[in-house]
Structure 1
Amino acid sequence: MRARGSASDGCSASGCRASCGPSRRAARPAETLDALLMSWNRTAPEVARALDIPPQTARRRLRRLEELFGERLGDPAFRFAALLALPPARRPRHPARDRRPPDEDAGI
């Protein structure tokens, strides 16, 4: 396991906060919430795959979201409003949804 701020990860003691500190960490709840809202089954493994993080990390983040939002996470109206409130740039790309049907007029 690599220590935080080690020279091997490009973080120095003084520069770590600027490059990978609070701003990146502050984005994690939004990224996790977005992955949860975009998932079908709302499971930690599914969220972990969407974010490319270990399932245990996803579970920890999901528990934090549960602490913040409680039962509202199960409310469809809240989920829809939260999805609309999140910036689109944070939305993970879903290859299956990004595929367009073949253009029928393309061969003409």
Structure 2
Amino acid sequence: MDIKALAENLGLEEEEYLELADLLVDTGMADLDKIESAIKEGDTDTAAKAAHSIKGASGNLGIMDIYELAKTIEAELRNNNVASASTQLKEIKEKLESLAKLVKG
């Protein structure tokens, strides 16, 4: 991931971009917890909203691999395809953890 290029695309300094990416990691992990809890409770609407939040934040930062996964998870949840969405959760969590290592050092 080219942090410098992503930052430049948004007109930000690298440090500013890293702060936003760090915020994405923190909120994204919290949203993943919301998704998992909501799925256990059968609340696909709340789960889809949390996936939408991850999708929006990652898309705004140009982190398209996380964006695409969140988009898929949101669509699956809106269509009540919980099993399919659940299989994607591990992958998006791994992507967020990789991003965390990159931005947190």
TM-score, structure 2 as length reference = 0.37
Q: Which has the higher helix share?
A: 2
The structure, 1 or 2, with the larger RCO (C-alpha pairs under 8 Å, 6+ apart) is 2
TM-score, structure 1 as length reference = 0.36
Q: Which has the larger radius of gyration?
A: 1
